[in-house]
Amino acid sequence: EDQVTQSPEALRLQEGESSSLNCSYTVSGLRGLFWYRQDPGKGPEFLFTLYSAGEEKEKERLKATLTKKESFLHITAPKPEDSATYLCAVQASSNTGKLIFGQGTTLQVKP
């Protein structure tokens, strides 16, 4: 069964304190791995897509990496506005397009 597990569930950082979020997955043929950001009361906002092991994508203070079993979202020198829930999802190569989400990591960055 396709599955996504994110850790930690919650993370508190001081402003400027870099860290990483983990997304472990099992999927029958990976079509893509997606990272989303979700603010309270809003819909998930697309951040990155990774397609193959070794691939990396960057956006401002965020960098996503992918291996055959997991993905990391590295946050460098975070700011309070980076506080949100970060969701990881996989899409299998079964051609239906559905995303299988992890439970998310809630990040709080304190000034």
Partner 1 sequence: DTAVSQTPKYLVTQMGNDKSIKCEQNLGHDTMYWYKQDSKKFLKIMFSYNNKELIINETVPNRFSPKSPDKAHLNLHINSLELGDSAVYFCASSQMVGGGEQYFGPGTRLTVT
What is the contact surface with partner 1 in residues (CB under 8 A)? 31-32, 34, 36, 38, 41-46, 49, 85, 87, 89, 91, 95-101, 103-104
Could you tell me how far CA 82 lies from the centroid of its own chain? 13
Nearer to partner 1, 18 or 108 (CB): 108
> Least distance in Å: CB of 9 to partner 1?
10
Tokens 């960098």 belong to residue: 63
Tokens of 110: 């304190």
Nearer to partner 1, 14 or 96 (CB): 96
Nearer to partner 1, 16 or 29 (CB): 29
